[in-house]
Structure 1
C-alpha cells in the first residue's frame, strides 16, 4: 500500500482499511493487518477507532461519499441514461481493483450483525437510485426501481467473472425498451 506517510494517522488507517476491506473482505481483515498497513501503533489505532465496527462504519461512509461522487460525475458525462449508465458502470468495471460493490459485499459478509452498517448500505442504495432517478425525465422516474435491479445484477455478474463489455451491452439492451 502506498500513501502519504505525512498524512494524519486516522487518514492512513482509513485508507488502509478501505483497500484491505474491499480487496480481502471485512472478516478476513484483522485489526492487526490494518495497523501494520497504516504504519500506526495499536494505541493510535484505538484512539481513532475504539472498535473494528467503528472502522467498518467509517469505511462505508467514506466509500459511499467517494463512490457517489464518481458515479454522479460519470453519469453527467452523457445526456441520455441509456448511454450514461452503461458507460459509467463499464468505467468502474474496468478498474484494476474492481471486486464488486463494497456495499453488496459488506451485506453478504455481515448480514444483520451490524445494524448500523445495514442502515448505511440501504442509504447507499437509495442514493444510487436517486442519482439514476435524477438522470431521468420526471415522467419516467417510475422506471428507477427496475433500472436499479438491472444495475445490481450487472455489478454481480461482472464480479463473478462475466465479461464486463458483454454485461454492459445486455444492460443497454434492457434499458432501451424500458426508457422508450
Structure 2
C-alpha cells in the first residue's frame, strides 16, 4: 500500500483507505441497502478511487462479507462476557436493545443477497449459529434442563423482535424480553423448598387438624 493515495477528486489522501471504505459501507448498506449501493457511490463517499477500493477488496462480495464481520466479531461480548451478571441475567441482557435498533445486518444481508453461497450469506449463517451457541452455553450455566432447546428459542425470539421492530418502526424488544423471561424460568429447575433453620431432622407431615 502506498503512503499517499488519490481520491476521486484528485486530492491526495493519507493512509486509512480501507477503514474509510468500510465506514462508507456501514453507512450506505445500513441506510439504503446492499443492492442499491454501487461501488461508484461507495468510493465517492469513502473518497478513494475504484482502483484503490479493489486493491483492498477483490470484489463487492468480499467487501460485504467484511462489513458483516466488523459488526460483532466476538459475538455480543458486552452480554455474554459480563462477570457482574448471573447466567440468567446474561440471557435477559441479550434482549436489552434500544428502541432505535435497526434490522439485524445479518438478516438484512441474507434477505438481500438471495444467494446461499454468497460469502456474506455464509458468514451470516455462521454468526447466527454462534449466537445460538452462546445462548445455549449460558443456558447450561444457568442450569436449564434442555439448554440447546432454550438457546434456539431465545435466538429465534431475538431475530423475530429485530424483524418486527424494522417492519413496525417501533421497538419490540421489551415484549420479547418478557417472553424470554417466561421461557427461561420455565426451563430452569424449580428451587428446592426452604427448610426451617431450627429443623433437627427430616420434615414430618403435619398432624391432621381436628374438625
Separation in 2 of the partners of 1:82 and 1:50? 39
Equivalent in the alignment of 1:173? 178
Give 1:161 shift: 2.1
C-alpha displacement of 1:81: 3.9
1:85 aligned onto 2:94: yes
1:115-135 CA-partner distances (Å, limit 9, x unpaired):
322210111101111232233
Find the aligned partners of 1:101 and 1:24 in 2 and give their Cα distance: 14
Q: What CA deviation, in whole Å up to 9, does each residue of 1:27-75 have, x standing for no partner?
A: 0000011100111112211211232112112112222427x3xx32145
Asked if the contact 2:28–2:37 (Cα under 8 Å) also holds between the matched residues in 1, the reply is yes
CA RMSD of aligned residues (A): 2.2
Indicate how the Cα distance of structure 1 residues 145 and 39 shifts in structure 2: closer, same or farther if over 3 A, else same. Answer: same
1:12 aligns with 2:24: no
**Structure 1 residue 9, shift from structure 2 partner:** 0.8
Distance 1:72 1:8 in 2: 27
1:20, 1:114 → 2: CA distance? 23
CA distance change for structure 1 residues 129 and 112 in 2, over 3 Å: closer, same or farther? same
Which residue is 1:161 aligned to? 168
Return structure 1 stretches of 4+ with deviation > 3 angstroms.
Answer: none
Aligned partner (choices 103, 106, 110) of residue 106 of structure 2: 103
Number of equivalent positions: 165
Q: Taking structure 2 as the reference length, what is the TM-score of the superposition?
A: 0.69
Q: Distance in 2 between matches of 1:40 and 1:169?
A: 42
* Unaligned runs of at least 5 residues, structure 1: none
Paired residue for 2:51? 43
Written as runs of structure 1 = structure 2, the 5 A alignment for 1:13-162 is: 13-65=21-73, 68=75, 71-75=76-80, 76=82, 78-79=85-86, 80-81=89-90, 83-87=92-96, 90-91=97-98, 93-94=99-100, 98-112=101-115, 114-138=117-141, 139-140=143-144, 141-142=147-148, 143-162=150-169
TM-score using structure 1 length:
0.80
Provide structure 2 residue ranges, at least 5 long, that are not aligned to the other structure.
Answer: 1-12, 186-211
1 or 2 for the larger relative contact order (CA 8 Å, sep ≥6)? 1
